[in-house]
Amino acid sequence: MKNRELASIFEQMADLLEILGQDPFRINSYRKVARIVGDLTEDIEGLWKQGRVGELPGVGKNTAGRIDEYCKTGRITAHQELLKQVPAGLPELLDISGLGPKTIAKVWRQLEVTSLDELQQVIDDGRLAELPGLGQKKAKQIARGIVFRQKTAGRTPLGIALPIAEDLAEQLSRIAGVSRVEIAGSARRRCETIGDVDLLVQAGQGKKVIEAFTKFDGISEVLAAGTTKASVLLKEGFQVDVRVVSKKSFGAALAYFTGSKAHNVAVRGIAVDKKLKLNEYGLFKGERRIAGADESGIYSKLGLDFVVPEIREDRGEIQAAQNGTLPNLLEISDIRGDLHMHTTASDGTTTIEELAQAAKDMGYEYIAVTEHSGSSAIAHGLNAERLLEQIEKVRQADIRIKGIKILASAEVDILADGSLDYPPKVLDKLDLVTASIHSGLAGSAQKVTFRLLKAMESPYVDIIGHPTGRLLGQREAMDLDMAQIIATAAERQIALELNSHWVRLDLKDVHLRMAKEHGVKIALCTDAHSVEDLQNIRYGIWTARRGWLQASDVLNAKTAEELVEWVNARREARK
């Protein structure tokens, strides 16, 4: 919880400095630290207590001092001082897609916009579009960003909510008398965003559990507290509900509070057809409880195979459970490599060797090092000359580091006309090519779909990276004709990426299901910029499962030998 809060503080400090036109070096430094802290798998406070904050890459004396102050006081004085230098409503505008710090500074200084309401006013009266450097197109993009923010308000990305839920569950499990704790709700179904967190506790003395829970750190307000239930608001802004449940009805309660509502309604309908009653207390035949201690017993009594939480959305899983045709969904142990990661050569924070060793420790057979191409200037993209140098470094690392195959790849920008950022003679030297759109995402459906389809005509493109370009809660997906994209990928045997970083999860579950039905391979990758980022693979696995993917649907569930055969077959087809 503290990692996320501290990362958010550093990110906002960087934004505020940029709004104020301050030193770019400090801005970049704070952004880098925000990313490092946000990606940490260890608790920042634990590292601080051990005196190890200075060991973090990119954390200098100044930022280490800020972290020290935060761990001691829960705040950073420099952050508070920066907030005082801008109008109170200005930081809120940073949450709007298409409205970065530089544009905020411009509308503040030139149009005296200091709040969301004032921003909407200058959009409505046309003054925003008239501002030099913006124009009608940018104004419309910002207007869409406001609508998008309103639609996603109250939803928290899984990557933020789940670690907090897991931490709370672990704390609850340490309370005397607690024998079991489970995360329920949309977090258990691993939905990409959640509204609130539901936690179920099995214990005999509910009142003691509730009293202990309401005293946990990180709670900003207790909304309600009784003998078996409590609702609280966290400092992060979302609600957590805790329910204490008896052993005999724990499974029924877990199924009920996991949902989805549509799935529960369908399952209750089957119970009614069998003249049974199903609720959060159990499955009943008359007044007699015939199941309820565990979920599997309920499904079994209803003549259903057990349905895993990720696919409880009433999208065909009930029929499959009745017919015995539920798929063997992808497991993390099926993943044999990661095909999208960045090193210090572009905008990563670690080396080829460090990533390779970390991947090896995870049991991977291979990785692909995929630096940004030259057009991604903000990500220190590589021009053709630098890429050729990087390819040679990858080749040497592959020889030097035993036990893992290291492929030379690149994340090549798809330009405005659909062409690729490198010429064919350079692309031909890569083992694998991922092509992605990083700019002009707000274009019309016709325009952005054309760009992707044009790029897919290249014989060198193996994977389309983060196809829709969305950032959860920050930027909506491109307006794509996804049916056409998937059909073309199937025709040309191009893989589509499931970018596993929790802020992307792109492709989303319904598109993955569509791709599976068309026989399109999915490259399930982390887009790692640090060693810690490799752990985001779990979010990709869960999203893949929500899309009904099996190991046979996933490109990097292939062995190293099978992957090379797949690439070579595509290369032969180019000739």
Least confident segment among 4-18, 48-62, 159-173 = 48-62
By the 10 Å C-beta count (0-12 exposed, 13-18 middle, 19+ buried), 120 is classed as middle
Q: How far apart are CA 427 and CA 554, in angstroms?
A: 24
* SS3 assignment for 96-116: CCCCCHHHHHHHHHHHCCCCH
Least confident segment among 135-144, 158-167, 393-402 = 135-144
- Predicted pLDDT at 574: 67
What is the tens place of the pLDDT at every residue in 475-513?
Answer: 889 989 999 999 999 999 999 999 999 999 999 999 999
- Examine the domain organization and report whether 345 and 439 are in the same domain: yes
The domain boundary residue, chosen from 274, 299, 323: 323
- Examine the domain organization and report whether 211 and 82 are in the same domain: no
What is the tens place of the pLDDT at every residue in 65-80?
Answer: 889 999 888 889 999 9
Give the DSSP H/E element, type plus range, for residue 498. Answer: strand 495-499
Give the tokens for residue 377.
């200037």
Burial 273-295 (b: 16+ CB within 10 A, else e): eeebbbeebbbbeeeebebbbbb
Is residue 532 within 8 A of residue 503, CB to CB? The reply is no
Q: How far apart are CA 132 and CA 118, in angstroms?
A: 18
- Examine the domain organization and report whether 48 and 194 are in the same domain: no
- Predicted pLDDT at 194: 93
- Examine the domain organization and report whether 266 and 130 are in the same domain: no
- Predicted pLDDT at 380: 85
> Number of folded domains in the chain?
4
Query: What is 515-540 written as a DSSP string?
Result: HHHTT--EEEE--BSSTGGGGGHHHH
The domain boundary residue, chosen from 152, 184, 219: 152
**43 band by pLDDT with thresholds 50, 70 and 90:** confident
**32 band by pLDDT with thresholds 50, 70 and 90:** confident
Question: How many Cα atoms are found within 13 Å in the side-chain-facing hemisphere of 493?
Answer: 11
- Examine the domain organization and report whether 67 and 15 are in the same domain: yes
- Examine the domain organization and report whether 410 and 550 are in the same domain: yes
Q: Where are the beta strands (DSSP E) in 309-404?
A: 337-338, 366-372
- Examine the domain organization and report whether 370 and 499 are in the same domain: yes
Is the predicted pLDDT of residue 57 greater than 80, yes or no?
no
The domain boundary residue, chosen from 276, 291, 323: 323
- Examine the domain organization and report whether 411 and 489 are in the same domain: yes
Q: What is the mean pLDDT of residues 81-109?
A: 88
What is the tens place of the pLDDT at every residue in 187-213?
Answer: 999 999 998 999 999 998 999 999 999
Domain of residue 278 covers 250-323
Instruction: Confirm whether pTM is higher than 0.85.
Output: no
Q: Is 547 helix (H, G, I), strand (E, B) or coil?
A: coil
What is the tens place of the pLDDT at every residue in 319-354?
Answer: 999 999 999 999 999 999 999 999 999 988 889 999
What is the tens place of the pLDDT at every residue in 524-537?
Answer: 999 999 899 999 99
Is the predicted pLDDT of residue 7 greater than 90, yes or no?
no
- Examine the domain organization and report whether 186 and 166 are in the same domain: yes
Q: How far apart are CA 557 and CA 334, in angstroms?
A: 5
CA distances to 311, 494, 566 from 521, rounded to whole Å, are 20, 7, 11
- Examine the domain organization and report whether 392 and 520 are in the same domain: yes
- Examine the domain organization and report whether 293 and 341 are in the same domain: no
List the helix and strand counts (H, then E) for the chain: 24, 17
Q: What is the mean pLDDT of residues 368-390?
A: 92
CATH number of 279's domain: 3.30.210.10
What is the tens place of the pLDDT at every residue in 380-421?
Answer: 899 999 999 999 999 999 999 999 999 999 999 999 999 999
User: Which segments of 230-306 does DSSP mark as H helices, in order?
Assistant: 250-258, 261-273, 295-301
What letter would DSSP give residue 475? Answer: B
Is the predicted pLDDT of residue 565 greater than 90, yes or no?
yes
Q: How far apart are CA 497 and CA 411, in angstroms?
A: 12
- Predicted pLDDT at 443: 80
- Predicted pLDDT at 575: 58
- Predicted pLDDT at 1: 59
Is the predicted pLDDT of residue 439 greater than 80, yes or no?
yes
- Examine the domain organization and report whether 336 and 299 are in the same domain: no
Rounded (10°) angle between helices 2-19 and 101-111: 50
CATH number of 231's domain: 3.30.460.10
Is residue 368 within 8 A of residue 432, CB to CB? The reply is yes
CATH number of 536's domain: 3.20.20.140
- Predicted pLDDT at 317: 97
